[in-house]
Amino acid sequence: MRALISVRSMLPVLAVSCLLLGGCSDGSSSATSAAPYRDAGPYVAGVTTLDLGDRRVEVWYPVSPGDQGDAPRDAYFIRDWLPDFIDALLPADVNPPLVTDAYRGVPASREGPFPLVLFAHGFAAFRDQSTFLTAHLATWGFVVAAPDYLERGLAAQLGQPPATRYEDVQLGRATVDLLKAENARVGSLLEGVVSAERIAITGHSAGGGSAIRFGDAPGVLTYVPLSAGARGGGQEIELPDKPSLWLTGAADGVVALDGVEAAYARALPPRRIVVIENAGHLAPSDLCAIGASGGGIVAIAIEAGLPVPEQLQRLGTDGCQPEALDPEDGWPVIKHFVTAQLRWAFGIDSEPVGLSQGAAADLPEATFSYRETL
């Protein structure tokens, strides 16, 4: 937090210096034109699953290169998230895996402790929905914890709500407490690995709202909503006095771009926004990459002839259409900017690195715009 306060306190001085020196740059926060965080970092990603009462928390963590040994890359299966009565309706051979870039249960790096980042999944989704990002962050030296938000999860939308209900901020606090306990527990895979005194949170869609609400929690240094605005229940969500990065697709048909822009305009500086051209709502997720034709369980259910509510069809396929940007082409943009924001917020990078429109030079797969207000 000390580093963030010093940045804010220096802004008036920097503004005066700009005037005295005859002007400043065009708004870029870094002199580099590279995107150094688009690809995997110096670590390998490990993954483990923790229990939190009636739900689980997926945790990705840094592993020293080579310590994964001969372990296979971890995979998850979309049917694992379905209620039994829905699962029984699908053909037995329909169970496409999503192979991730993490290795299950391998020893964590002893170079930590590492900063903690929470990930909040979206509506009708699940804790593993964005492994392309969560595993990537682990390679850059973060522990990433993604709890099941069962109250809005896929099973709940298909008729199987949880017996116990958490408010999203309450669940965030419980997840942080769980990681603190694992860090202190002798013999834990995560013993001595997690630094949970200063944390960050990112989330997709409804999870972006969770990121905003949890952003006011003590110790949170930054919040990063993905494909999310700042309205809930017809009301504007109060925005925390913390740095933020907003990232969305210009072709999002679920959370319209003007809603994200309005939230960004209300956010307190320093704030940043990245808009990916022709990207849809599911761009910051794995979902379009699941199954032979993409689109995850919704597309699979439709192909199997199961009745899917129109709202869930729209939510579960937006961004997977052939005319939309291939989400995998947008992933390098998302990986780079989220990693860069976290490294800056935690003070790992003393000055912003790659947080500028200049990063486009090394992100040719997708076209995007970047803006910031410091």
| 246 DSSP β-pair partners | 273
Q: What is the pLDDT of residue 24?
A: 33
Q: What is the pLDDT of residue 86?
A: 62
Q: What is the pLDDT of residue 293?
A: 58
> pTM for the full model?
0.87
Q: What is the pLDDT of residue 166?
A: 86
Q: What is the pLDDT of residue 79?
A: 73
Q: What is the pLDDT of residue 17?
A: 31
3-state secondary structure of 324: coil
Residue ranges, the chain, pLDDT below 50: 1-33
Cα separation of 261 and 238, whole Å? 15
Q: What is the pLDDT of residue 290?
A: 82
**Other residues' Cβ atoms within 10 Å of the Cβ of residue 256:** 14
* Domains recognised in the chain with CATH numbers: 2-373 (3.40.50.1820)
Give me the phi and psi of 20, to 5 degrees please.
-65, -35
Q: What is the pLDDT of residue 81?
A: 66
Q: What is the pLDDT of residue 19?
A: 28
Q: What is the pLDDT of residue 27?
A: 33
Cα separation of 203 and 209, whole Å? 8
Helices (H), ranges, 204-253? 206-214
Sequence-distant (≥ 6) Cβ neighbours of residue 86 within 8 angstroms: 158, 159, 306
Sequence-distant (≥ 6) Cβ neighbours of residue 133 within 8 angstroms: 119, 202, 284, 331, 334, 335, 338
